[in-house]
Structure 1
Amino acid sequence: MEVSVIIESVVSLFIIILVGVYGSRKKIITAETNKRLVDILIQIALPFMIVSSFIYTYDHTIKSNVIKTFYYSIIAYIIMIFVSHLLLLPVKGHKKTILHFANVFTNTGYVGFPILNSIYGTEGVVYGSIFNMFFVILVWTYGLILFKDNFSKKELKAELKKILLNPSIIAVCIGIIIMIFDIQLSGALISSIEAIGNITGPLSMIIIGVILSNVKIQKYLKDWTVYYGVVTKLIIIPAIIYLISLLVGNPSKAINTVIIMSAMPASAMTSILAESFDKEKEYAAVIVSVTTLLSLITVTVLLKIIL
C-alpha cells in the first residue's frame, strides 16, 4: 500500500508539472503571471494548509508522542543542516545555496503527508504536522537568510519583523493554539480552510512546470553537482538520520515519521524562493523535479528498511 501511494503521489506531481509546462508554452501563464501565482501560494494557500494540518483530535498517547516528535524534529533539522554544510563544501556559488536548501527542506506537504497517512493514518499526519511546523518556521527564517545572503543590523531587524508577521508563521501560531486548547471548529470553517490549503500542492507544481518549460535540460546533464546533490539529498542524509535514530533505541511512530519526512524529495519552496530571489531558478527546478522522480525508488527502499 505504501509503495502504491508513493507512485501515485509522484506521478500526480509530474502530471501537474506538465500542466504548468503546457500553460507556459501556450502563453497562458506568463512570467509575470507566475510571479503572482507565487504570491498567492506563499501569502494565501500555504498558511491555510498549515492551519489545516493541526485540525485533528488528540488523545493522551498522541499528545505524549507529539512532545517527542518536537525533540526528534529539532534534532533531525540540526543534523540535516550540519551534514549538508559538510557535504556541500566542494560546491560553490548559488548552486550551493540551492542544494543546501533542498537538503534541509523536504516536500513534507504534498508527498510526505499522503505517505504518512497510508502507513499510520491520522496519527501519522499529526506527527508529520509537528515536523512540518519546524519546516515552516525555518523556511521563513533560516531558509530566507540563505537566499538573502548577508543582512545589515537594520535589515536584519526589519526582516525579523517581517518573519514574525509572515502569514505562514502566524498560521503556525494559530495551529499550535488549536492543538493545545483542542479548539473545535465548525464543519464549514474546517472545509473552507482545507479547501484553500489543498491548492498549495497543485499550485506549487504548476509554478515549477512554468519554470521548467524554459529550462535547457541538456546543459544540466553534464553538471556533476546535480548528481552529487541528488545522492546527498535522497541517500546520504536520510541514511545518517536513520543510523542515528538506531541509537535512540526502540523504534516508534514518532521516530519513523521524522525519518520518513526527512527522506522526502526537495521541497517545491526550493524552486519558488529561487524564482523569488532570481538565483539559479532553472537549476532549482531541475533539483526539485529530479529528486521527486527518484524518491519513488529511495523512499520505497527506506520504508522497507524501517517498517
Structure 2
Amino acid sequence: MGLLVILESVLSLFIMILVGVYASKKKIITTKMNKGLTNILIQIALPFMILSSFIYTYDNTIRSNVVKTFYYSIITYIVIIIVSYLLLLPIKRDKKTILHFANVFMNTGYVGFPILNSIYGAEGIVYGSIFNMFFVILLWTYGLVLFKGSFDKKELKKELKKILLNPSIIAVCIGAIIMIFNIQLSGGLLSSIEAIGNITGPLSMIIIGVILSNVKIKKYLIDWTIYYGVTTKLIIIPAIIYLISLSVGEPSKAINTVIIMSAMPASAMTSILAESFDKEKEYAAVIVSVTTLLSLVTVTVLLKIII
C-alpha cells in the first residue's frame, strides 16, 4: 500500500477527531454526553462491526489465519507484559501502574478497528476481533489486579461473568459460528448489521476528539516519565513486536494486524480505572491523550514499514 493511501486513511481519522474537538469546545457534546456515546460505541456499534466482518465468504487461508491470530495474540501480549515490566523498572509507585497498564492495554476499539477497517477491510476486522478477545479477557483480570491488587472468590466470579457477557466477545462467538457454518443472512438483516457497525469509525474518532479537548497537559511538560512512557508505548514496544514477527516467516495480514494493534495508543480504560481507583487520574488522562495524538504519526510510519 502506497504512502499516499496510508496518509489519506490517517488524515480521514484525524479530521473526525477535529470534529470531536470542535463539538466539545462549542458544548455540542458535553462530558456526560461523551460517556453516553462511549457506551453506544462499546455496547452496540463495535459489536455490530465485529459481527458484520464475519458475514462474508472466506477461503481456507483466511480461516487458517484466524487460528494463527489466536497464537500471535497470546504471544504478543506475553511479550508486551514482560517488556513493559522491564522497561518501567525506573518508574515508581502509581505512575508505574498507569504506564504499565497503558502499555499492555491499547486502544483496540476507538482507534485500532477503524484503522484496520481502512487498511484491510472486513478481513482485518476479523483478525482484530481475535486480538480484541484477549484484550477483554486480560482487562477484567490482569488489568484490574494491577489497580486493585487481588480478587476474592466472589469478585473473580463477577469479573468472569463480565468477560463472558461482553458484547464484543458475544459478537465474535456469533460471527465465528456464522463463518464456520457459512450461514446466509437475509439482505435486510445484513444491511442493518452493516449500517450500525459502520458508525464505529466516525463515532470513535469524535469521542477521542472530545477527550483530547478536555485535557490540560501544560503542567506535565516537565515530567520526564511522560516522555519515557510515550516512547516506550508508541515506539519501543511496537518495534520489538515487529522484529519478533520477522522470525515467524512471510508477512501476512494476520501478523500485520497484531503488529498494528500492538502499536495503538493507550486505552481509554487507563483513564477510567485510574479515576475509579483514584490513582494519578490526571496523569492517566494525559498519557491517553498524548499517545492518541502522537499515534497518528507513529502508526503512519509503522504502516509504511510493514505494508
- Give me the TM-score of the superposition, normalised by structure 1: 0.83
Q: Which runs of 5+ in 2 are unaligned?
A: none
Shift in Å at residue 29 of structure 1? 3.2
Q: Which residue does 1:18 correspond to in 2?
A: 18
Residue equivalent to 1:64: 64
AA paired with 1:216?
A: K
Query: Which residue of structure 2 aligns with residue 260 of structure 1?
Result: 260
The aligned amino acid for 1:40 is I
Describe the shift of the 1:188–1:154 C-alpha distance in structure 2 as closer, same or farther (beyond 3 A). Answer: same
Residue 88 (structure 2) pairs with residue 106 (structure 1) = no
Q: Where do 1:146-157 residues align within 5 Å?
A: 146-157=146-157
Q: How does 1:100-139 map to 2 (within 5 A)?
A: 100-109=100-109, 111-113=111-113, 116=116, 122-139=122-139
Q: Aligned partner of 2:302: which letter?
A: L
* 8 Å CA contact retained: 1:131, 1:258: yes
Q: Deviations over 1:153-202 (max 9, x none)?
A: 22222222233223232223222222322222223222222322333343
Partners of 1:103 and 1:149 in 2: how far apart?
A: 18
Shift of 1:125: 4.1
Give the whole-Å Cα distance in 1 for the aligned partners of 2:24 and 2:258: 36
Q: Which residue of 2 aligns with 1:195?
A: 195
RMSD: 3.1
Range 82-91 or range 7-16, more displaced: 7-16
Q: CA deviation at 1:69?
A: 1.9
Q: Is the 8 A contact 1:10 1:293 kept in 2?
A: no
Structure 1, unmatched stretches of 5+, are: none
Task: Summarize deviations over 1:238-291 as a string: whole Å, max 9, x none.
Answer: 121122223333433432332233223334444455566665454344333433
Paired residue secondary structure (2:55): coil
Residue 212 of structure 2 aligns with which residue?
212
- The answer to whether the Cα contact below 8 Å between 2:131 and 2:258 also exists between their aligned partners in 1 is yes
**1:70-95 Cα shifts (integer Å, max 9, x gaps):** 21121111111221122222333443
Deviations 1:11-43 (A, max 9, x none): 344433333333333333333333333333332
Work out whether residues 51 and 171 of structure 1, in 8 Å CA contact, stay in contact via their aligned partners in 2: yes
Rounded to whole Å, the distance in 2 between the matches of 1:288 and 1:267 is 7
* Whole-Å separation in 1 of the counterparts to 2:25 and 2:118: 36
Change (3 A) 1:282 1:22: farther
TM-aligned CA deviation for residue 235 of structure 1? 1.4
Alignment of 1:282-297 (within 5 A): 282-297=282-297
How many residues in Structure 1 have an aligned counterpart in Structure 2?
Answer: 307
| 1:302 aligns to 2:302 (yes or no) | yes
How does 1:148-187 map onto structure 2 within 5 Å?
148-187=148-187
What's the TM-score once normalised by structure 2's chain length? 0.83
Code of the residue aligned with 1:210 in structure 2: it is V
Q: Is the 8 A contact 2:140 2:160 kept in 1?
A: no
Q: 1:136 to 1:2 in 2, by over 3 A?
A: farther
Q: What's the offset of the Cα at 1:59?
A: 0.9
8 Å Cα contact 2:45-2:199 kept in structure 1 = yes
